[in-house]
Structure 1
Amino acid sequence: MTVDQSHRAGPCEQVDDGITRVFQLLGKRWTGPIVAVLMAHPAHFADLRRAIPGISERMLSDRLTELGAAGLVVREVDEGPPLRVTYGLTPTGAALEPAISELREWARKHLPESAESCTR
């Protein structure tokens, strides 16, 4: 691959603070899929676990706690019986929808499916 004359290498600028913060949160494994699942509608813990193959209960719990602390996810407890916990996006979390949709479309165009994902 060659670099065109108008795109010569030069000194790098420091990464934007906003990009750093967003990827510190959303760049963690499993966070993106959790947010993407919750875009459609609120979900119970067990439903989230089924919707995201490979995630452990502990990891799901940890990520939901982090997303809650960041103000992206809200946890609602229905005392039951049985006791049920529902997770949903806050307005701040829901505001990620255009970005998540763009990333989904970019992946469809530019990231080929692996043989592993085709066999699921």
Structure 2
Amino acid sequence: MGTASTHDTHACVRSDAALTRAFTILGKRWSAVVLGSLRSGPAGFRELSRAIDGLSDSVLSDRLSELTKEGLIARTVDAGPPVSVSYELTECGKALMPALHQISEWAEKHLSFEEG
């Protein structure tokens, strides 16, 4: 005899859609790392490039553009001289930091890393 499901199918679909949307942005390689690198305050392109090992300048440029377009970071141009550009988390980006911190803690606890 079958049992009636206590799951709300519509709630599952809504959650799935939200996670899909979130990981469409965060699932791209380096996106979360770039966001996490900005958690302590604004940084320029060179500073970010030096802070993130293994990230090419072209991919960093792409991720900064995408994250700016999504409203997670803001790009500020200081006319100088010299002209400088900095990036910082928006309120939306800052709201994501507790979740990224939890993912980082989870990874440290449950994922093994091989140094290479």
TM-score of the alignment, normalized to the shorter chain, above 0.5: yes
Shift in Å at residue 93 of structure 1?
0.4
1:74-97 per-position Cα deviation (integer Å, ceiling 9, x unaligned) = 000111111110000000000001
- Residue 57 of structure 1 corresponds to which residue in structure 2? 57
Q: How many residues in Structure 1 have an aligned counterpart in Structure 2?
A: 104
- Residue 3 of structure 2 corresponds to which residue in structure 1? none
Normalising by structure 1, we get a TM-score of 0.82
- Is 2:98 the counterpart of 1:98? yes
User: What SS does structure 2 have at the residue aligned with 1:77?
Assistant: strand
**Structure 1 segments unaligned to the other structure (5+ residues):** 1-12
Shift in Å at residue 115 of structure 1?
2.1
Normalising by structure 2, we get a TM-score of 0.85
- Residue 9 of structure 1 corresponds to which residue in structure 2? none
1:15-53 per-position Cα deviation (integer Å, ceiling 9, x unaligned) = 710000000100001101100001111100000000111
Shift in Å at residue 63 of structure 1?
0.6
Q: 2:55, 2:81 → 1: CA distance?
A: 27
User: What SS does structure 2 have at the residue aligned with 1:104?
Assistant: helix
User: Which stretches of structure 1, 4 residues or longer, exceed 6 Å deviation after superposition?
Assistant: none
Q: 2:95, 2:111 → 1: CA distance?
A: 25
Q: 2:72, 2:102 → 1: CA distance?
A: 19
1:67-106 paired onto structure 2 within 5 Å? 67-106=67-106
**Structure 2 segments unaligned to the other structure (5+ residues):** 1-11
Computed over aligned residues only, the root mean square deviation of the Cα atoms, in angstroms, reads 1.2
Q: 2:85, 2:29 → 1: CA distance?
A: 23
